[in-house]
């Protein structure tokens, strides 16, 4: 079966929904009082990060693989992916007992790569970018005769993703604005097609991130826009906006802390756009949390950074006389100011310090930015020279 570069119809999406019934999850929508209060309108989160394999991609993968002929199934399937599409194809192939080979760029998060392998797919690293993995996958198809499963330029894949749109309207009929991540564009094309057919007045906003170079939103880091999906999206979407890594980081932290949802960078861009005031429109806003497969080391870094920005995580340096009892005086001051000390580092060698002094770096959990300022002021009053690191 060749790639079908045809936009799906509502009928295609409805057929896909029947194929997915009992296989893909109908993911919940959660009202968020925190985000509603922050943006001044009702916000409901479409938690596709709770989908099988941790992302929306399983919808398109199952819909595509379920339509393969016996001969195509015997030849196996091949995919290129930054992670989520590969996991979805690997999972769907395992369910249907089809051999799968997934090509991923070297920059793909290891959590996603390992998941592909755990689902039983052969997994190969190829190049630095998604486009490199795509080239390697297509070459493998030529060699083996397998069926290439394109992540977004295929009618059946896009129709599968579009089932989110039907589901969303059943759960939240009065939605005013829907925010959809855009990488290759298959998710946005599928959902927008369903929404325009069923509720044409709904405002649909596509959200992009990091189109130049590295981004936290690795799942939508596509270097070259699709010449299939993008022209169609220009007609279907009301707006396309971009968010920064700082805005994505804030969204990830708030989703975890307030909504108790683990969401990867690509999945957080809709919330980021809302918080940054870039969504526009009125009425209930529904950001699509497209995936939750964030690498644990990345999550730790994002949380540390987010807490620092919010004034909840203070890292500072000061100098002490290098003699017994001086460190305990400093730590006692931190305790008096109700700071929760989690790390102390001494720096002596290689520093521009007097021979009788030592530098100390403290990492302290604080309540908020005001608490940080109070603690630093108290140290200054006691004669400690303070350098705030973050």
Distance CA 53, CA 100 (A): 16
In this predicted structure, the answer to whether residue 93 has a pLDDT above a threshold of 90 is yes
- Other beta carbons within 10 Å of 4: 18
pLDDT at 220: 81
Which 3 state secondary structure label does DSSP give 34?
helix
Q: What is the pLDDT of residue 218?
A: 75
Q: How confident is residue 307, by pLDDT bands cut at 50, 70 and 90?
A: confident
Mean pLDDT over the full length of the chain: 91
Cα torsion 169, 172, 174, 179: sign? negative
What per-residue confidence (pLDDT) applies to 346? 83
Taking CA atoms, 93 is separated from 68, 77, 112, 193, in Å, by 11, 8, 16, 27
pLDDT of residue 223: 64
> What is the DSSP annotation of 267-333?
HHHHHHHHHTT-----SEEEEB--B----HHHHHHHHHHHHHHTTSEEEEEEEEESSTTHHHHHHHH
- List, for residues 103-157, the tens digit of each pLDDT value: 998 877 777 788 889 999 999 888 888 789 989 999 999 999 999 999 999 999 9
DSSP readout, 222-274? -SS--TTHHHHHHHH-SEEEEE-HHHHHHHHHHHHHHS-----HHHHHHHHHH
Using the CB atoms, write b or e for 148-171: b if 16+ within 10 Å: bbbbbbbbbbbbbbbbbbbbbbee
3-state secondary structure of 371: helix
What the block records as the tokens of 100 is: 């799968």
Give the model confidence (pLDDT) of 337-379 as tens digits. 999 998 998 877 656 677 778 899 999 999 888 999 999 999 9
**Range with the lowest mean pLDDT among 14-23, 212-221, 265-274, 360-369?**
212-221
* Cα gap 116→123, rounded to integer Å: 7
Using DSSP's 3-state secondary structure scheme, residue 197 falls into helix
pTM: 0.87
Backbone angles phi, psi at 387, to 5 degrees: -120, 115
Q: Which domains does the chain possess? A: 10-55+155-294 (3.40.50.1100), 58-148 (3.40.50.1100), 311-388 (3.30.70.260)
| Residue 68 binned pLDDT confidence (cut-offs 50, 70, 90) | very high
For residue 310, the model assigns a pLDDT of: 78
Question: pLDDT of 189-239, one tens digit each?
Answer: 999 999 999 999 999 999 998 655 578 887 787 766 788 999 999 999 999
Mean local confidence (pLDDT), 167-181? 97
Residue that has been written with the tokens 């493998």 in this structure = 140
Tens of pLDDT, residues 317-331: 998 888 899 999 999
> What mean pLDDT do residues 280-289 have?
97
pLDDT for the residue 179: 98
Predicted confidence (pLDDT) at residue 293 exceeds the cutoff of 60: yes
């Amino acid at each position: 079966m060749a790639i079908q570069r045809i936009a799906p119809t509502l009928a295609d999406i409805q057929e896909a929904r029947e194929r997915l019934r009992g296989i893909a999850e109908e993911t919940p929508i959660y009202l968020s009082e925190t985000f509603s209060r922050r943006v001044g309108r009702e916000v409901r989160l479409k938690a596709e990060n709770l989908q099988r394999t941790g992302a929306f991609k399983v919808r398109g993968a199952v819909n595509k693989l379920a339509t393969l002929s016996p001969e195509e199934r015997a030849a196996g399937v091949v995919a290129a992916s930054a992670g989520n599409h590969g996991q979805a194809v690997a999972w769907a192939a395992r369910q249907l007992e089809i051999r799968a080979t997934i090509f991923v760029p070297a920059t793909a998060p290891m959590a996603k790569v390992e998941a592909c392998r755990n689902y039983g797919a052969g997994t190969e690293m190829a190049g630095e970018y998604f486009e490199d993995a795509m080239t390697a996958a297509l070459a493998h198809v030529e060699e083996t005769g397998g069926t290439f499963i394109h992540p977004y330029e295929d009618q059946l894949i896009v129709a599968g993703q579009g089932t989110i749109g039907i589901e969303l309207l059943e759960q939240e009929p009065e939605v005013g604005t829907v925010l959809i991540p855009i990488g290759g564009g298959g998710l946005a094309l599928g959902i927008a097609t369903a929404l325009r057919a069923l509720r044409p007045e709904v405002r649909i906003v596509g959200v992009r991130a990091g189109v130049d170079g590295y981004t936290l939103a690795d799942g939508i880091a596509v270097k070259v826009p699709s010449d299939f999906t993008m022209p169609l999206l220009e007609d279907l979407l009301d707006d396309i906006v971009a968010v920064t890594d700082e805005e994505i980081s804030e969204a990830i932290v708030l989703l975890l802390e307030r909504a108790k949802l683990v969401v990867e960078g690509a999945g957080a861009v809709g919330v980021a756009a809302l918080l940054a005031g870039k969504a526009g429109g009125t009425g209930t806003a529904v950001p699509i949390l497209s995936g939750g497969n964030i690498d644990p080391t990345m999550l730790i870094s994002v949380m540390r950074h987010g807490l620092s920005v919010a004034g909840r995580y203070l890292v500072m340096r000061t100098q002490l006389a290098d003699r017994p009892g001086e460190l305990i005086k400093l730590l006692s001051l931190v305790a008096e100011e109700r700071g929760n000390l989690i790390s102390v580092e001494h720096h002596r060698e290689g520093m521009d310090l007097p021979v009788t002094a030592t530098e100390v770096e403290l990492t302290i959990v604080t309540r908020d930015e005001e608490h940080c300022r109070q603690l630093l002021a108290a140290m200054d009053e006691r004669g400690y020279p303070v350098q705030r690191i973050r």
